[in-house]
Structure 1
Amino acid sequence: MAFPFNQQNSIWFKRLNKSSWRGLLAGSISLTLALVVLAWGVTWQRLEAEKALLGANARIQQENLAAIVAENLAQVLDRGRLMSIAANEWFEGKPAEATNRLSAMRATDLAFLRIALYDRQLRRVYTSSPASATAGLRDALVRAVQTSPAAAAAGLLQIAPPPESYEEAWQLPLLFPVLGNNHEVRGVLLVVLDLGYFLSLYQHIDIGRSGIVQVLTSDGKEVAQARQEGLILSQRRGSFELPIQPARHGSLTGTFFENDEPYLSTFRRLERYPFSVAVSRQIDETLTEHHGSRQRFFSALAALTAIIALAALWFGRSIRRQGQLLSALAAADQEKCELIEQLEEEKRRAFELAAHDHLTGLPNRRMFHELVASHLSRAKRSRKHYAMLYLDLDHFKRINDSLGHHVGDLLLQSVAARLRSSLRESDVIARLGGDEFAVLLTGLESVDDTASIAAKLVAQISQPCRNLDGHDIQVGPSVGIALFPRDGHDVDTLCRHADAAMYQSKRSGRGRYTFYDPALNPASDRLLHLEQRLPKAIVGHELVLHFQPKVRLDDYRIVGFEALVRWQHPEFGLIYPNDFIPLAEHSGQIIELGDWVVTACCRQLADWQAAGLELVPIACNISAKQLLDDELPERIAGFLAASGIAARYLEVEITENSLIESIEVAGHVLGKLAGLGLQIALDGFGNGLSNLSHIRSLPIDSLKIDRSFISDIRNSPDDAVIVSSIITLAHNLKMRVVAEGVEMLDQLIHLKTAGCDEVQGYYLSRPVTAIAAGQLLLRSTLAPT
């Protein structure tokens, strides 16, 4: 039979071949197997439920029958107990009345064959029919007479040994104690129960082919049993293992009888007498109906499974045949599609490489300019506001240099992700290169929205970046903002002005945003001019040193100078360090500038020495980049040797923040400097990020307390406590303490009282030229006025 095939099926089979028709075939087989397993599982579950139900019904039937037999047996034994009560009249002096009453009760109760009354001396005083007492009976009588009053009062009876002859095996002798008024045992009443008569009452009850009704003693010994064929009396008295007390009734399963077949047995104990009744039936007989149902169901399932398997086989062969017929066409289509996809992928990759940054996936500079130009062309016809933002990460180069470029790349990716999550889809985000990003905010309702968005970006980017190759890094952005059309009508103008505003943010303290101001341009031009001319100033003798004296508080003697560099610019006049030191760090000229300062200090010391002045140490500042230069100690040693100055007259000052980048390298360089004999001072202590364990491990000779603690020491108890703590700490570490920024007499008095060693500041002397510093050396002291 051919599989129906048309144009729709052709398309379906092409798709099928692409996703592998073998998968459909496997799915069909799996579905078929699942259906078969489901059918068999449901059927098995139903058969098990039916089996459990039949077992429960059989158990209930047997429990009901056991309850009926047990109740009838208890009634018969109750009548025997009544006879024992009537027999008490004999011992009360009424033998005639007792004889008449017992004879009447015996005559009306067919369950009892005969009765006999014995006194405490085991003399038979009454019998309904003559019979000799066996030895076993006599022993039982002795035990019955000796029964305790409490047991007798509870109605406890004893079972006498049954007759040994087979003809009398159906007789069950029972001994009931005869009690007096004080519950003393006066005698024993022998009652012989006719088991044949008792069990014949249930011969018409259908208990099945294998059904068995048993009368058992309390310890499980069989007294008699009835089967479908009648009463069974066996000379072998077996034992039926009943559950231990206190279970009054229940069910058991096991091989209890001689045929070793499994039986379901239900038992019930009599409450007042030492007997139990058990009803048993073979388990297979109770499940006869279940076996028939199972056979029918399994036959039907086998037929259904065969039908499903044949159908699945036919369907699978059809799918395979159609799949093979279309495999060549599908392969050709697949090849064409793969070629087209490859071309599309190459085109997309080429576009991505040409227009996007490979690291962050953001548009690059060229793509950004095109997108911004497109937006600005529409912005000219819109009343919405647009803003250009330039973002630069602060101290990003330090991260690359200290942690590696791979960590820097991870940081750039994290910043790009935060920009995407913080801005709208309509805004344009780009990475211009390095750590510089640009954003075009489009369609703003108000210019004030720009400040809110910029503040949000600064806050988001300034959050710590967790677990970047095992490092937690926190950087802040410097943001510059240019507004369209106020700050420019084209892309280049807006970019230039946003860049200028961004550099103003860096100069203003970093980690902030700044709107473009036309007044920034002259400053930018001036800074660019200074940066370009700085190398020429270093070698062209445009730099000069001013000196501020350090005074010892014990005797106000000048014990040192701090060298402060100035730039004597031919056009702008005297320029202070705050204006050109950052330019030197940014342009990489800080090493050359630092070497010039050290050389100038050595040269000045040589001049004072030649003039016969008493020398004091001159301190010069060392930048963070100089501390990372392992060749710095050798160069300073060369400068000292060239000028003929002893190393103890040169002191280097470092800041706390200069130790952040690499405490190991800085410690190595400082160790070499200390080995040359130079003094080392930690400048601006308390205003940085020092770790006391690091300070203790470095060869530092003195601490300079930052001027921010000195300025308000008179009015701020906190500053006073901090200053006193720093002085105590430094003295405990065997360091001198120098306070800078002393401008008032009250500050000087407080510092002297606190135990400070040396001070410097405007109150004693401003920084002066080399000539004025030489004159101060001649005075040797600077006592306060």
Structure 2
Amino acid sequence: MALMSGNRGAAVAALQPGAAASQFSWRRSAQSPFIVVASRGLEWVDAPMREGSRKVWTLLGVLSLCLLLAVGGMLRVLRHQEGLFVALSVANRDKHTLIDQLEQEKAKALELAANDHLTGLHNRRMFNELVASHLALARRSRKFYALMYLDLDRFKAINDTLGHHVGDLLLQAVGQRLRQLLRSSDIIARMGGDEFAVLVTGMDAMADMDALAAKLIEQLSQPYDGLEGHSLQVTPSIGVAFFPRDGHDVTLLCRNADAAMYASKRAGRGRFSYYDATASADSARSYALERQLPRAVADRQLVLHFQPKVRLHDCRIMGFEALVRWQHPDYGLIYPGEFIAAAEVTGAIRALGDWVLQACCEQAAAWRGQGLEPVPIAFNVSPVQLRDGAFAERLAAHIAQHGIEAGDLSMEITESCLLEPRALALSVLEQVRAMGVSIGLDDFGTGFSSLSQIKDLPIDTLKLDRSFVNDIRSSSEAGVIVTSVITLAHNLKMRVVAEGVELMDQLVYLKTAGCDEAQGYFLSRPVGSHAAEDLLRAGYLYPA
């Protein structure tokens, strides 16, 4: 073989023609003429390498697959992290938006808590806080400070006639005018309704208040145009209290300025007044009662006392007159003489009268519910109520609501109820009488009326004024008048009730003269509902 030259060697070749290639090696022996040849097929030789290569490629494939899976997992994690980041960004943006909204709402809430929603001025709470802080500084100042209360005269009439919307526009215009007339250092507030308050700060002298108050009266009394097509003119009443002369704190200054403002109203309105520390306690009490009466009606601080009407020929109780009392939390029991006039001035008389009417109906229903024989409960009606064309309808509604009879009530009016508009009063009286409610004319003889003037009125009972009863013993003329009135009233088919009977002599004279009924302290003082119930159960009331 040509390939086997040399003593030894190796080669890859086909040992025979047409045979597969093999790898062989040879060696020539020096001691013999032979050549030793060893061969293996290439497939056998390459088998370990192919097996190793296969394992390597398998490992590489597995590693590649693992790498791909790891890369895929990382991509998925990254996408998830990206989603979380986007969600976090959105949540963070929403959070900031919510924070901004909360800050805006907080600012609005603070503004609403500090300012009056209608005029934009400070409200009562913020005014008190600001005034308290200013007064703390004023104690170390040589300047003068004044607290001013301002109320619009007859503002209620504007609301009632033109509507609350026009009234609100007027209040806004007044608030704007106050801003223009006062300094930025002064504190202006709307205290409620048509009442404003101003703390005037840093005045050089108390006398400066004269010019400022006069200017406010003049400017605020100028017409207000463009209020829903209306041009309105109102006047303010102003009360002024100085710090520290009239009070060392906000509460006392406000109270005294308020009292001074009502002094302006009593003096004729459209003016200003300074608080007078020497005013009598009665005046201060009157101011307080006038202001607190509307709340007393709403808070049911009123109570009814009942004075029996006794038939003279047999002393049987024929009815009760309901008399209102005010159970004041500070002043105790207050009689109507102290607050009825104030109620008529302030307009609270309508609410007061309606409360009395409802309370009478409740009492009559309670007595019926206890099985007591009912007697009429008389309630007094003011001229203001009688001028209300809907009064009879409200009366009928109360009667129906409480399930009582019209005869359980009796209505008493005074001669002032028959003044103008007389036709309206007569119409209301006719409606009430047609319902079955009896009508009495109270305090007869003290006014303009005579029997000839009232003969055509729908009246069932005349009540002799106590002034005639008091004079019976001392004046023969009074006795003649009483006897004549009783006789003429009977001829007109009216009953006569004498009020204010305090002595046995008076009672005897009235019975002799033919008077039908009597009431007064000699028979019984006005009593509470429980004592009245006991009297009603007894049925008769004999003089002691």
- Whichever of the two has the greater Rg, that structure is 1
Q: Which has the higher contact order (CA 8 A, sep 6+)?
A: 2
* TM-score, scaled relative to structure 2: 0.50
* TM-score, scaled relative to structure 1: 0.35
